[in-house]
Structure 1
């Protein structure tokens, strides 16, 4: 990622060589990979309205409860542990989400493993919003968490 304060002087070839140190099959096994830019002081010191840590914690706890109920009676405890059979059962997409995932998968050449990871992350995002179904915005957010896949093409 380009840092607006400290421009990169690396050549595209050296960036590619550095990124290729991590193989595609290894990247496929990582659910979320994102770049975190430096935060400006103005943003750190902003006292504007935002969701409190307690509220976020409650959403996470509720999401975990939803997952425990979903997988009750199985050896699975959370979405990340879903097998392809459970993904088919619990990751229904709306039509727009299905179109988006198809387009992005074809365009970026996602592997089956990456496709399944996106569905698991989208299922978790939907759970955090207490949504029974995975919608297009959940798929879009999950895809955004695959930044290294997008840059490898």
Structure 2
């Protein structure tokens, strides 16, 4: 393990690190184009700051690569989660169909309500009577829930 002694005289200020804001905009984009702002934490020693300044294009290139990886990972996680969510909801809908799940809608979060409503309405081809029977709610309650969740009737 190596160690290099850096005295406080070599720093650009009284802190060990600096924060740099990097604003990303596509090449040849118009002046009013939307910018993506990223924060970069850098050692505050002068030699590090000079290195970053001399190699800013490579630093920005690395930030862009990281951004692309994050977007790909986020899309994959959302797709994986939605498939898992869909697979997990199927038995719930089956159980509701058997027990006429009284009071179930009141205990669910808004996102779960919406997913459940969509699944039930799809399964029963928008048959309100059947959906109400399965969910254990009245037509008025179903109408209210559909409106609250923003599901088109």
- The TM-score range, normalised by the shorter chain, is under 0.3
Q: Please say which structure displays the higher CA radius of gyration.
A: 2
User: RCO higher in 1 or 2 (8 Å CA, sep ≥ 6)?
Assistant: 1
- TM-score, with length taken from structure 1: 0.26
The structure with the largest strand share of the pair is 2
